[in-house]
Amino acid sequence: MKGNFQIIILIVFIAAAVLGVLVFSGVIPIGSQNNSAGSQGTVVLWGTVKAQTLSPMIDDFNRANPTFILKYVEKSADTFDNDLLEALAAGNGPDMFFITDDLAYKYSNKIYTIPYTSFPLSTFQNSFAGAGEVFLTSKGVLAFPLAVDPLMMYYNRSILDANNVTYPPAYWDEFTNLVPLLTKKDSNGAITESTVAMGQFSNILHAKDILATLFMQAGNPIVTENNDSFSSALSQTGKYDLGSILKFYTDFADPLNSVYSWNSSFSSSSDAFSAENLAFYFGYASELQSMVNKNPNENFLIAPMPQIRNGAFKLTFAHVTGIAISSFSKNFTTAFTAAGLLSSGDFASKFAAALGIAPARRDLLSIKPTDAYLPAFYDSALYAKSWLDPSPADTDDIFQGMIEKVLSGSMSVQSAVSDASAKLGLLLTPAQ
C-alpha cells in the first residue's frame, strides 16, 4: 500500500510539472480553464500586498480557474517574516507565499525546490528576465518570478537645465566633471546643494544596493554557489579590482577629493532630492509615486542607472518578487498549478502594474506601456540582476562597516573588502 501511494504521488507531481512546463513554454495558452484540470480544493497564498489591491485580481483568477479556489491572506510587512516562520513551524502555514530576493536564502529550506528535471533551466531562462535567476539554485527553482523593481536614477531637470547639462550621465566617470559644476557650497565651504548622494551609508537610502550595483557591474556576483554550498565572491579578482570600486564610491564623501559631494550632515538622500538640494537620486521604480507625493512641483525625470564605461554588459540592481511553494503544503499539486498560472498569465501583468513596476516575464516586457516612466522601468528590468542576500540586516552592517572603515582611515580599501568578504562568508556558513 505504501509503495502504491508513493507511486501515485509521484505520478501526480510529474503531471503537474509537465503542465507547468507546457504553460510556461506557451504550448498551453494562458487563461484556458483546462489549465487547472486535475487541481482541486483550496490553496492559501500569503503576502504583504494590500488585500484591497489584490482582491479583484484574485477574483478574476478564480473565475478563470473554477476547479480550485485561491485565497489570499494579507500580512503586515513588519511581522511577515516572524508570522510565516511560526506558521510553518506549527504546520498551519500557507500553501504558497510571495517572496522577495532578500528572503529567498533564508527560506530556501522551507520552500519546495522544483527540480530542473520537472521545470527545465532553459524554460525558466526563456520565460523570465535575468533578475529572476536569483531564485535558481543548483537543485532547482525556488520561486516563480512575478515582478522586477529595478534601481533607477532620478534626476532634477531644473538643476541640470540651470547648469547647461543637456542629458543625465550614462556612465559613472561623467560624475567627475559634473560634481564641480553642480555641487554648491557656502562661504564656509559647506555643501548646500549636492550633485549625488554617494560615499556615506547611514543617510543614503539604498547605499548597500548602490555599492552592490557597482560591484556587479564590475562582474562580481557577490555570492556564488558551488555544489549546493554558498560562499562570498567579494574576494574574487576580475577585470576590475573591487578595492578601486569601493574607493570610487567613498571618494564622494572625502572632503579632500575633487568629487566630494556628500557628507553625514545631510538629511536622507530621498529627502534631499525632494527638497531639491540633490541633483541625482538612486531609487527604485516603486518609489515613483512617493517621490511625486513628497514634492508634486519638483521637475524630475528618471533615467537608467549609470554604467561602467566600456563595460562588457549593462546591469542594474533590482528587487524581485516571486511565488514560492511551501514544502509543507497539504495540497501541493494545486499549489504548483496555481503558482504557475499566477506567474504566467493575466495576473502577473496586473500585479506588476498595480505596484508600478515591471513584470518578470519576458513576453510581458516586450509589450511596453505608453506611460511616461514605465518604458524605462521595463528596459532596466531586462538587464537587472539581484543577489542571494543571506540576511539583509547583517549585510547592511557589513557594507556599512566596509564603507565607514575606509572613510575613517582605519582600513585600506583592499582590507575593507577582504574583511567584508570574510564576514559575508560566515553568514553563508550553515549552522552546525
The per-residue pLDDT for range 15-68, each reduced to its tens digit, is: 445 445 444 444 333 333 445 556 899 999 999 999 999 999 999 999 999 999
Element containing residue 409 per DSSP (H, E): none
Mean pLDDT of the region 375-399: 98
Residues 101 and 214 in one domain: no
C-alpha separations of 390 from 79, 146, 169, 395 in Å: 18, 21, 33, 8
Name residue 333's amino acid. Answer: T
Residues 325 and 305 in one domain: no
For residues 113 and 274, give the distance between their C-alpha atoms in angstroms, rounded to a whole number: 43
Residues 190 and 250 in one domain: yes
pLDDT score of 158: 98
pLDDT score of 412: 97
Residues 230 and 275 in one domain: yes
Residue 157: pLDDT over 60: yes
Residue 1: pLDDT over 70: no
C-alpha separations of 195 from 161, 210, 264 in Å: 13, 16, 15
Residue 12: pLDDT over 70: no
Residues 199 and 347 in one domain: no
Residues 348 and 257 in one domain: no
Residues 330 and 418 in one domain: no
pLDDT score of 72: 98
Query: Can you give the residue range of the structural domain that contains 336?
Result: 2-37+44-147+320-382
- Non-local CB neighbours of 380 within 8 Å, separated by 6+ positions: 150, 151, 152, 285, 304, 305, 316, 318, 358
Ranges assigned E (strand) in 187-236: 191-196, 223-226, 229-232
Buried b (16+ CB within 10 A) or exposed e, 418-430: bbbbebbbebbee
pLDDT score of 239: 74
Residues belonging to the chain: 432
Mean pLDDT of the region 70-96: 94
Let me know if residue 155 belongs to a domain: yes
pLDDT score of 37: 56
Question: Which of 202 and 27 is assigned the larger pLDDT?
Answer: 202
Mean pLDDT of the region 186-210: 97
Let me know if residue 77 belongs to a domain: yes
Residue 303: pLDDT over 80: yes
Q: What are the pLDDT digits (tens) for 310-342?
A: 999 999 999 999 999 999 999 999 999 999 999
pLDDT score of 194: 98
Let me know if residue 375 belongs to a domain: yes
pLDDT score of 432: 52
Let me know if residue 282 belongs to a domain: yes
Specify the CATH number for the domain of residue 9. Answer: 3.40.190.10
Mean pLDDT of the region 71-85: 95
pLDDT score of 9: 40
Let me know if residue 432 belongs to a domain: no
Residues 253 and 206 in one domain: yes
Supply the mean pLDDT for the chain.
Answer: 91
Let me know if residue 229 belongs to a domain: yes
Residue with cell 537543485: 139
Residues 270 and 417 in one domain: yes
Q: What are the pLDDT digits (tens) for 248-291?
A: 999 999 999 999 999 999 999 999 999 999 999 999 999 999 99
Buried b (16+ CB within 10 A) or exposed e, 207-219: bbbbbbbbbbbbb
Residue 235: pLDDT over 90: no
CB 258 within 8 A of CB 176: yes
Q: How many structural domains is the chain composed of?
A: 2
Residues 128 and 172 in one domain: no
Residues 287 and 419 in one domain: yes
pLDDT score of 14: 46
Let me know if residue 172 belongs to a domain: yes
3-state helix, strand, coil in the chain (%, to 5): 45, 20, 35
pLDDT band at 393 (very low <50, low <70, confident <90, very high): very high
Q: What is the pTM of this model?
A: 0.91
Residues 324 and 311 in one domain: no
